[in-house]
Amino acid sequence: CGTQSLNFQVTYQHGVDHIVKVNASSNQPAALRACPGEKVIVRYPHSFITDNQTSEHYKPLIKIKGSYIEVSNLHLIGARDQLPQYHYSENGISLANGGGLGCRILYNDIENVGHCGVKEMGHGGHHFLIEGNYIHDVGHTSLDHGIYCPADDAIIRKNLITNSTGWGVHAYTAPARLEITHNIITGHAQDAIVIGGPDSRVLHNVFYRNTGGGVFFFRGRCRNNIVKNNIFDEPSGAFRYDNQGSNEPDKHPQNNLADYNCLSFRTPRGWFSPYDTYGLNNFTAHPQWVDPKNLDFRLTSIVYALTQAKILGLAQTAAHFEHARCLRTNTYKLRQELSFDYTQDRLGAG
């Protein structure tokens, strides 16, 4: 099936519109992408910045309002240091007005936006993919995040998400059936991930030095989630939860499972709801990354890692360390396209 190529139709007046709205389908998707060998930068014009010094809301750099649309290989540069601070303004990419079905946001570099790198606006979008993006240095307050996803059935994988003033992935209020896998999430002012809904899987991620900690189970609608085969280096704790200050069971996260995770020696377990399960197969070990402060999360010794897995009988953890081994030849490099070779079967492994 053919893919439609889209040209940007941009209006610069007292606002800015980079709106992708097109009749696409699963048989004929549409793509807004950089051509091979080209670099495309999307930013606000100077006139937009000067005209909006007293505005209460700014439009996103790109807004998707349709289905089966791909946005890929673009460099989005926001203006959070040039526009006044307002809540919920200036996303990198927004999925709005029900847009999202079959959409793919792939291999973009998104930086310096005032709110979220990528955000589904709570408008009913669902079943979309956010993969391979480098999202970094975003936000003003704890309401601003790397990825904000209130949508059901989204896949968030293979992203490098760093340095937001909120959460790395904000899965709130109660999205269901998310797949959050193979991401590196580091340097956020809150936790790496907050989970507010049910039936999601958080697998094969690296959580490193987020101020709030690793995974935050949020209140009574957070149920039946699985957190497995992740590596935590979180001095504030691998886990925490919120129960609205109540002892009533329906206010607590329930039936969530965390197992087969590796916690570094400096990572305490944190706080778990009495209605959740902290599995017997979690373990403590030194991840032995090459240079995590400079975002090099390759393992210095895959033999050591696999030995740890074997000693503890963690067959599933061995698969995770195999994922880390792949990063030895596909290292994250700043401002370079991310490259992976994972299969859907690997994503399906518990």
CB neighbour list of residue 238: distance below 8 Å, 6 or more residues apart: 207, 213, 214, 215, 232, 258, 261, 263, 267, 268, 269, 270
Quote the pLDDT of residue 309. Answer: 52
What's CA 158's distance to the chain center, in Å? 9
| Number of C-beta neighbours around residue 140 at 10 A | 20
State residue 198's pLDDT score.
98
CA torsion, ordered 95, 99, 102, 103, to nearest 10 deg? -30
Bridge partner residues of 136 (DSSP): 111, 162
The tens-digit pLDDT sequence of the chain (350 residues) is 345 544 443 333 333 456 667 768 888 898 998 888 888 999 998 888 898 888 888 889 999 999 999 999 999 999 999 988 777 889 999 999 999 999 999 999 999 999 999 999 999 999 999 999 999 999 999 999 999 999 999 999 999 999 999 999 999 999 999 999 999 999 999 999 999 999 999 999 999 999 999 999 999 999 999 999 999 999 999 999 999 999 999 999 999 999 999 999 999 999 999 999 999 999 998 888 888 888 888 777 654 555 455 444 443 333 343 343 333 333 333 223 333 222 232 223 33
How do beta strands 109-111 and 134-138 pair?
parallel
| Cα 153 to Cα 200: distance, rounded to the nearest angstrom | 9
Which residue from 145, 103, 146, 106 is spatially nearest to 124, judged by alpha carbons? Answer: 103
> How far lies 209's CA from each of 13, 73, 109, 120, in Å?
42, 28, 22, 26
- How far apart (Å, rounded) are the C-alpha atoms in residues 180 and 164? 18
The pLDDT, as a whole number, for residue 331 is 33
* Residue 308 pLDDT: 53
User: Of the candidates 160, 227, 155, 233, which has an alpha carbon nearest to the alpha carbon of residue 195?
Assistant: 227
Q: How many residues does the chain have?
A: 350
**Host H or E run for residue 306:** helix 302-311
- Give the separation between CA 256 and CA 276, rounded to whole angstroms: 5
Q: How far apart are CA 302 and CA 256, in angstroms?
A: 30
Query: Which residues lie across from 161 on neighbouring strands?
Result: 135, 185
Helices 315-326 and 302-311 pack at an angle, to 10 degrees, of 170
Task: For residue 326, give both structure tokens.
Answer: 């792949």
CA torsion sign, 315 to 155 to 227 to 164? positive
- Bond before 181 cis per omega within 30 degrees: no
Strand partners, 111: 77, 136
